[in-house]
Amino acid sequence: MQKNQQKIVLIGGPGTGKSTVLNKLKEKGFFCFDEVSREVILKAQKKGIDQLFLTEPLLFSEMLLEGREEQYLNAEKRKENIIFLDRGIPDVHAYMNYFKTTYPSLFLEKSKQYKYDLIFHFSPWEDIYITDNERYETFKEAVKIDRFLTEAYSELEYKIINVPFGTVDERTDFIINSLSYNL
């Protein structure tokens, strides 16, 4: 790990533009880890499980926790000073709280063990919200999920920086320009 490496997480409910901005950050030369859940969902669908989170929420969440922990550890092996992640470990227990699913204390322990340096929050934005093969939540559900996410990070005492609405370039530039002020 670089001595001054910063792990920066993009959070927010589904369909808020995180992945689109992450792709723009990649274009600008930043190292980024993609969202783990799409990969987990696609693997389950190949095995004939249409909505793993709905049918086996604990198994799905364990797989996410494992994937996000692996991303964190892989980030530490990288030479880049700045690493962006599409969602972080606390997202896992935030979703479990949203769905009122009981989970082992390990979920919260991992959230406390692996700390991030900056958290950028993407608020629900109905104008850009769409559903797809892996995103089945309604916009109203996305708003509720967003509240659980911000609560989870706030309870872990993270300072959350809200990314304003705007074009992809404006949102990306906001994050990049915020780095010098917040690191």
What is the token pair recorded at 143?
Answer: 């708003």
Q: Tens of pLDDT along 2-45?
A: 568 999 999 999 889 999 999 999 999 999 999 887 777 777 67
What is the token pair recorded at 179?
Answer: 């780095």
Predicted local distance difference test score (pLDDT) of residue 123: 96
Which residues, listed in sequence order, are joined to residue 82 by a DSSP beta bridge? 6
Predicted local distance difference test score (pLDDT) of residue 1: 46
Helix H, strand E, coil C: the string for 100-113 is CCCCCCHHHHHHHH
Q: Which amino acid is at 29?
A: G
CA distances from 159 to 1, 29, 37, 98, 152 (A): 23, 25, 24, 21, 12
Count, residues in the chain: 183
pTM for the model stands at 0.89
Domains of the chain from N-terminus onward: 6-182 (3.40.50.300)
**CA 86/CA 2 separation, integer angstroms:** 20
Low-confidence ranges of the chain (pLDDT < 50): 1, 183
